[in-house]
Amino acid sequence: MQKGVVLAGKASGALLPAYLAVGSNSVKAGRVIERLRARLDDGLAAFNLDERESAAVSEPGELLASLNTLPVGPGQRLVIIHGADKLAKPCSEAIVGYLQNPNPGCVLCLVAEALARTTRLYKAVAAVGRDAVIDCGGKKAWQLPAEVRRLAQRRGMSIDESAARELVDRVGESIALIDGQLKTLSELCRASGSITRADVVEHVARTAEVKPWDFLDAVCDRDAGRALSVYALMPANSEVRLVSLLAARLRELVCARSLMRRGAIAGLGGELLAYDSIAATPAVRRKGSKRPAKPRAKQDWQLKNHQRWAGSFGDGELERALVLCGGADAALKGGADPRSCVSSLILDVCGAAPSRHGSLPC
């Protein structure tokens, strides 16, 4: 499976008989289709292009007739089927059979959000050539800011890290929606040539659901303004859970800071797994009670910012923040005003509150 959009066969510039663009990144799949369409003669596209949704493909015979039709004029014919993962079984089997002896004058492009590698259709396309399957999978959340910057560059604009992250926070993880907002922002900010966080805040409405991890990341960045903004969008009555999650994250940073002092930060994942395993093992397990789930090791992408976050805290600050989390938890369970309590905790941990000693006064 190829990652980039490379449409070539064995001969330089030659196209393969079939391609499969698979994944949820509709922007990348769109680029695959655009490059294939660009191979058609503009004056003959009406004759040599057959593009349809899978729902409109109901007769295997009609589909095979289109695939076996010779192109009009020089070049090749192009058949594009969207939603190929939803093709009726007879039609997908017809394609499998067709690819055993494809029409050299036709290129088939299948577009699918998800198609298992074990399916006959996937295997048939993959057998056509090494570059026949194009990975259009979505990006992980932590990869999206970099993808936003690449998309902005394609539009002749620059966007900094904070603006890219703010755009992802507001729009969500859909590349198509992000690219649509970048198009609008590019038109609004063309004169300056750059998109700032202020531009995103002013022109992009928040439509994405806020996740606890967005809140934790903002606090660990010690960005009090962003943390308070994200917290204001969290569901009501979620304060106890947020404080618990924040305490868990801060404990991870305490561990990271300790390993940094010893020059052993590379072992953070193993240390956290060992700690979680001990924490998940009760001293006495009651007869008949279920065994607790075995902790899972954290992935590298989950720990990629821990060293930076831990380094932003001074000696004793993380430990004090943990004490404040304990005080906030007790205060919340004792009936303290949730908004006031958590807001004060955010300011304390982010270092934006006046210097205080002792537990958090909620």
Q: What is the CATH number of the domain that holds 159?
A: 1.10.8.60
Question: Between 37 and 291, where is the model more confident?
Answer: 37
pTM of the prediction?
A: 0.58
Interatomic CA distance for residues 168 and 211, integer angstroms: 12
195: which DSSP letter?
E
Separation of alpha carbons 138 and 132, rounded Å: 19
Q: Of 115, 129, 28, 41, nearest to 78 (Cα)?
A: 41
Average pLDDT, the chain: 88
Confidence of residue 297 (pLDDT cuts 50, 70, 90): confident
| pLDDT number for residue 138 | 78
Cα–Cα distances in Å, from 317 out to 213, 313, 340, 349? 21, 6, 21, 8
Kindly state whether residues 254 and 311 are assigned to the same domain: yes
- What's the pLDDT at 83? 94
Residue 291 lies in a domain: no
pLDDT tens for 173-187 read 888 899 999 999 999
How far, in Å, CA of 248 to CA of 321, rounded? 11
Residue 197 lies in a domain: yes
Comparing 215-219, 286-290, 324-328, 346-350, the range with the smallest average pLDDT is 286-290
Are 186 and 271 contained in the same domain?
Answer: no
The residue among 70, 103, 135 that closes a domain is 135
Confidence class of residue 87 from pLDDT cuts 50, 70 and 90?
very high
Tell me which of 43-52, 136-145, 149-158, 187-196 is least confident.
136-145
> CA-CA distances (angstroms) from residue 306 to 61, 145, 252?
58, 18, 8
Together in a domain, 265 and 320:
yes
Q: In this predicted structure, what is the pLDDT of residue 339?
A: 94
Same domain? 100 vs 30: yes
pLDDT at 10 over 50: no
User: How much is the pLDDT for 11?
Assistant: 41
What CATH number did the domain enclosing 51 receive? 3.40.50.300
Tell me, letter by letter, the H, E, C secondary structure of 226-292: HHHHHHHCCCCCCHHHHHHHHHHHHHHHHHHHHHHHCCCHHHHHHHHHHHHHHHCCCCCCCCCCCCC
Are residues 168 and 116 both part of a single domain? no
Q: Is residue 2 part of a domain?
A: no
Residue 12: the pLDDT is: 44
Residue 24 has a pLDDT of 86
pLDDT value at residue 358? 47
Identify whether residues 77 and 168 lie together within a single domain.
no
Mean pLDDT of 80-98: 96
User: For residue 109, what is the enclosing H or E element?
Assistant: strand 106-112
Is residue 98 classed as helix, strand or coil in its secondary structure?
helix
- In sequence order, which residues have a C-beta less than 8 Å from that of residue 104 and are 6 or more positions away? 17
Lowest mean pLDDT among 9-18, 80-89, 147-156, 276-285: 276-285
- Shared domain check, 240 and 317: yes
Residue 60: CB atoms within 10 Å: 19
Q: Are residues 116 and 36 in the same domain?
A: yes
* Cα atoms found within 13 Å of the Cα of residue 234, Cβ hemisphere only: 23
DSSP 338-359: HHHHHHHHHHHHTT-SPP--SS
What are 189-223's pLDDT values in tens digits? Answer: 999 999 999 999 999 988 888 889 989 999 999 99
- Of all residues in the chain, the percent with pLDDT exceeding 90 is 65
For residue 8, pLDDT over 60 is answered with: no
Domain presence at residue 340: yes
The answer to whether residue 91 scores a pLDDT higher than 90 is: yes
Domain final position from 111, 135, 159: 135
Domain encompassing residue 329 = 218-223+227-277+297-349
Tokens of 112: 């699918």
Q: Is the pLDDT of residue 108 over 60?
A: yes
- H or E, element range at 295: none
Domains of the chain: total: 3
95 shares its domain with 160:
no
- Sequence letter at residue 317: E
Could you tell me if residue 312 is inside a domain? yes
Domain end marker among 135, 151, 180: 135
Does the residue 286 lie in any domain? Answer: no
Q: Please report, in angstroms and rounded to a whole number, the separation of the first and last CA atoms in the chain.
A: 55
Please state, in angstroms and as integers, the Cα–Cα distance from residue 360 to each residue in 54, 179, 237, 353, following that order. 59, 43, 19, 11
Instruction: Name the least confident of 24-28, 140-144, 315-319.
Output: 140-144
Question: Letter for the amino acid at 21?
Answer: A
CATH, residue 237: 1.20.272
pLDDT in tens, 301-343: 788 899 999 999 999 999 999 999 999 999 999 999 999 999 9
Average pLDDT of the residues in 232-238: 88
- What is the share, in percent, of the chain residues with pLDDT greater than 70? 88
Question: Using 50, 70 and 90 to split pLDDT, how confident is the model at 357?
Answer: very low
Decide: 106 and 69 in contact? Cβ < 8 Å: yes
Residue 203 and residue 242 in one domain:
no
CA nearest to 95, candidates 131, 130, 70, 120: 120
One domain for residues 118 and 61: yes
- 260 and 307 fall within a common domain: yes
Residue 24, token pair as written in the block: 């949820």
Residue 313 lies in a domain: yes
**Contact indicator for 93, 57 with CB cutoff of 8 Å:** no
* 116-133 burial: b if 16+ Cβ within 10 Å, else e: eeeeebbebbeebbebbb
- Coil vs helix vs strand at 321: helix
Contact 193, 158 (CB under 8 A): yes
**Quick check: is 4 in a domain?**
no
Picking from 228-237, 244-253, 292-301, which range would have the lowest pLDDT averaged per residue?
292-301
